[in-house]
Amino acid sequence: MNPVADTVIFFGKFLYYFLESLVFKVIPKKKKDVSGEIVLITGAGSGLGRLLAMHFASHGATLVLWDINQEGNMETCRLVKQKGDVKVFAYTCDCSKRTEVYRVADQVREEVGDVTILVNNAGVVTGKSLLNTPDHLVEKSFLVNAICHFWTCKAFLPAMIKANHGHLVCISSTAGLVGINGLSDYSSSKFAAFGFAESLFLELTMAKKTKIKSTIVCPYFIKTGMFEGCTTKYPLLLPLLEQEFVAQKIFNAILEDQVYLLIPKFIYFALLLKQIISPKMMIALCEYLGVDSCMASFTGRSKAEELQIETERKEQ
């Protein structure tokens, strides 16, 4: 193509999409109807996964709940059923194991049907410095936080592509956009999850599968057991997020087919700033915001809770 014509077309599209985005800032997109959709949520046994299940249940979706913690998953199932006449199916699944993901996925297709909304929410965090993090926990972080997304998408995406209908949701993290002190394994695995989701979004777009939507979520630390003990220096800029607030934001983003969701909004500015300031300036900013020491008092989930989950897993 002629370079001049190509450039003119590019700027025309760029301007059009820029104006379109401004319009949608003023006039919110029409929310889609998820009633009847089959929604699979990994890590549904507690926290954000449980709250998202409640939101989808309230809007008439069929729920498929995955979690390694059978007890927590069944509790989510019970709470969802309280919403009324809701179809909900709970499966115990260790998302770090590829063969198990595929096996349970086959079971879901046979017993429930083709998943149309996939929410990759399962996550683990170690919260230790690199040299204090055992090798098996590094591997666990990547298997659950990132590599699992490959297996779930490969399991359920073919049916979405065939129907040209579906929605892929990746719960990444602000730590998947900016490296965080004390979170080397978590941060890098969330970078990987973000990169995978964004790449797959572009892959589907280039393949003209425009009816398969993507939503990539990057929240700051959420007040769940995973980040127990984390602190923030300036809550007005970087607040520790309430679970229900984040769940509502994510659910709205899904209904509006929003591709990127960063929470809080300050992250958009910080991410832009990161690209234009020097490394020393960035470190000074991190020190000012307290990002350098936010993990200093991290405790995470209790050892008793971790042992209970591991014991349940071995007994199955």
On the question of pLDDT at 308 being above 50, the answer is no
pLDDT at 301: 62
**In the chain, pLDDT over 90 holds for what percent of residues?**
68
Reading the block at residue 166, the tokens are 């579906």
The residue from 16, 91, 186, 288 that is catalytic is: 186
Handedness of CA 153, 105, 76, 145 (dihedral sign): negative
Q: Residue 305: is its pLDDT beyond 80? A: no
Residue 304: per-residue pLDDT: 37
> Around Cβ 306, how many Cβ atoms within 10 Å?
13
Q: What is the pLDDT of residue 1?
A: 65
Give the domains, in start order, of the chain with CATH numbers. Answer: 31-315 (3.40.50.720)
pTM here?
A: 0.90
Higher pLDDT, 165 or 298: 165
State the chain's mean pLDDT as an integer. 90
Look up 102 and say whether it is catalytic. Answer: no
| Res. 316 pLDDT band, cuts 50 70 90 | very low
pLDDT tens sequence across 135-161: 999 999 999 999 999 999 999 999 999
pLDDT tens digits along 230-255: 888 888 888 899 999 999 999 999 99
In whole angstroms, give the CA distance from residue 180 to residue 7: 39
CA–CA distance, 76 with 74 (Å, rounded to integer):
5
236/231 Cα distance (integer angstroms): 13
Asked if pLDDT for residue 35 goes beyond 60, the answer is: yes
Q: What is the pLDDT of residues 169-203, one digit of tens each?
A: 999 999 999 998 899 999 999 999 999 999 999 99
Q: Tell me: pLDDT of 28 over 80.
A: no
